[in-house]
A and B are shown apart, each in its own frame.
Chain A
Amino acid sequence: GAGVSQSPSNKVTEKGKDVELRCDPISGHTALYWYRQSLGQGLEFLIYFQGNSAPDKSGLPSDRFSAERTGGSVSTLTIQRTQQEDSAVYLCASSSLYFFGYNTEAFFGQGTRLTVV
C-alpha cells in the first residue's frame, strides 16, 4: 500500500485477555518501529526491527509484550494477559534501510487505540 497500515483501529478488551496488533509497513522499508502513547504521555519507544530481526527490544515494558516480523514486512505486536495500564495508542512506523541519509523520514500508521476494561 501507499502508507503504513495498522489494524484494528480500535480494540476494547477485557483485562487478562491477549491481544494482537498488526502493522503493514510501506513496501520496501526494512526498518520498522513500534511506539505507544499512554494518556498524557509522550511517544514511548517499544521495539525496532531491521528486516526480520529485532536488535533493540529495550522499550518492551514487560515479558507480556512480544513482537515479531515476518518476510521483512508485516509485524505483529502481542500483549498477553492485558492490564489496564496497557491502555494506549500503539503506533507503528517504517523507514528506509537504517535511515539511509540522515534526512530520511519515518512514516507512521494511524495507530491502534487499545482500551483494557
Chain B
Amino acid sequence: ILNVEQSPQSLHVQEGDSTNFTCSFPSSNFYALHWYRWETAKSPEALFVMTLNGDEKKKGRISATLNTKEGYSYLYIKGSQPEDSATYLCASRRDYKLSFGAGTTVTVRA
C-alpha cells in the first residue's frame, strides 16, 4: 500500500474564484497518477491519468500537473462553479494497484 496524501482535506471557494490542491505520493517505482472527481451518489469520474514527469493535462476549467521526481501533483480549478463541488481523489498506481488519498472536498459557494 502506497502512502498517498491529499491536502487540504476540504476547502470552500467562492463562485468565480480559482483554487488548487495537492496530492503527494512516493516517487519510487512510479507508474501513473490518477485524478477522479466524486460527487455524492454518483460514480467516481476519471479526470486525468498522468505518467511522465512534467505532464500537464487539461479538461475544461480543470487542469493538473505532475512532478514524479519529488512526488506531487496539483489539481487546479479555474473560475469555480457550483457544479465543481465534489470530492477530488488522487491515486498513485504501482503495477495493477491504485492507492488512493483521502480526497479533497471542494464546496463552491454561489
Contact = CB atoms under 8 A, between A and B. Distances in A.
A117 B89 CA distance: 29
B98 A45 contact: yes
A98 B100 contact: no
Interface residues of B, number: 25
A92 to B, nearest CB: 10
Interface in A92-107: 93, 98-99, 102-107
29 contacts: A33-B98, A35-B100, A41-B102, A42-B4, A42-B89, A42-B101, A42-B103, A43-B91, A45-B97, A45-B98, A45-B99, A50-B96, A91-B44, A93-B98, A98-B96, A102-B31, A102-B32, A102-B49, A103-B32, A103-B51, A105-B34, A105-B46, A106-B46, A107-B43, A107-B46, A108-B36, A108-B43, A110-B42, A110-B43
Interface in B56-110: 89, 91, 93, 96-103
A56 B32 CA distance: 19
Contact of A103 (B43, B49, B96, B98): B49
A4 B46 contact: no
Given A56-B97, A106-B98, 20 more contacts: A3-B43, A4-B43, A31-B96, A35-B100, A42-B102, A43-B100, A45-B1, A45-B97, A48-B97, A93-B98, A99-B32, A99-B93, A102-B32, A102-B51, A103-B49, A104-B49, A105-B49, A108-B36, A110-B43, A111-B43
